[in-house]
């Protein structure tokens, strides 16, 4: 019971933030929810993909979308507890939103499987679709500048996820 109350409080807090920021679609990594499904939360719809009921809820990914945009949802797919895909109808074509939450550093076996599954999902998306990645890759990329992507203001540390 205590865990359920915590999850509900976390969702409610996230919803309040999104309302203040006037956000239409938001990704929530590390939801720690079990199973997969959708839930209506006032002005939002929460899509979530989590772990089976017999596992500790340590991961999970969610997408919150304003309820008024529900008719624009073409489809969604619960790929895994770390990948959730939403296809959203635009005026011209579709936008595919890939919401991802990578394994923590040091979980090599899980990391390889995660990236293989992610690549499979990317390969399934049509070449003419718009794709947006919203992710938490659990990376530390250091402070070596990459023109147009990364400046020198990051921390010095690089981890194995950041080297991938």
* Res 23 pLDDT > 80: yes
Domain 2-163: which topology? Deoxyribonuclease I; Chain A (3.60.10)
Structure confidence by residue, pLDDT tens digits, 30-66: 888 899 999 988 788 999 999 988 998 888 899 999 9
Question: Global pTM?
Answer: 0.74
Give pLDDT, residue 84: 96
Q: Which residues contact 27 (CB under 8 A, 6 or more apart)?
A: 61, 62, 63, 64, 97, 99, 134, 135
Query: What pLDDT, on a 0 to 100 scale, did the predictor assign at position 87?
Result: 95
What does the pLDDT read at residue 71?
95
Q: What is the pLDDT of residues 94-142, one digit of tens each?
A: 999 999 988 877 667 788 898 899 999 999 998 888 999 887 766 656 6
Residue among 101, 159, 103, 95 at smallest CA distance from 135 = 101
**Nearest residue to 117 (alpha-carbon basis) of 161, 160, 84:** 84
d(CA 156, CA 4): 38
């Amino acid at each position: 019971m205590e865990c359920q109350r915590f999850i509900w409080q976390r969702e409610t807090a996230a919803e309040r933030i999104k309302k203040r920021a006037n956000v239409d679609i938001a990704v929530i990594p590390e939801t720690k929810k079990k199973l997969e499904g959708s839930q209506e939360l006032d002005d939002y719809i929460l899509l979530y993909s989590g772990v089976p009921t017999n596992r500790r809820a340590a991961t999970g990914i969610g997408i919150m979308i304003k309820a008024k945009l529900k008719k624009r949802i073409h489809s969604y797919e619960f790929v895994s507890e770390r990948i959730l895909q939403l296809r959203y109808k635009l005026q011209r074509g579709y936008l595919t939103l890939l919401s991802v939450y990578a394994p923590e550093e040091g979980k090599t076996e899980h990391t390889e499987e995660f990236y293989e599954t992610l690549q499979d999902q990317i390969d399934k998306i049509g070449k003419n679709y718009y794709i947006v990645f919203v992710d938490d890759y659990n990376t530390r990329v250091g402070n070596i500048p990459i023109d147009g992507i990364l400046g020198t203001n990051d921390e010095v540390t690089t981890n194995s996820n950041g080297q991938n």
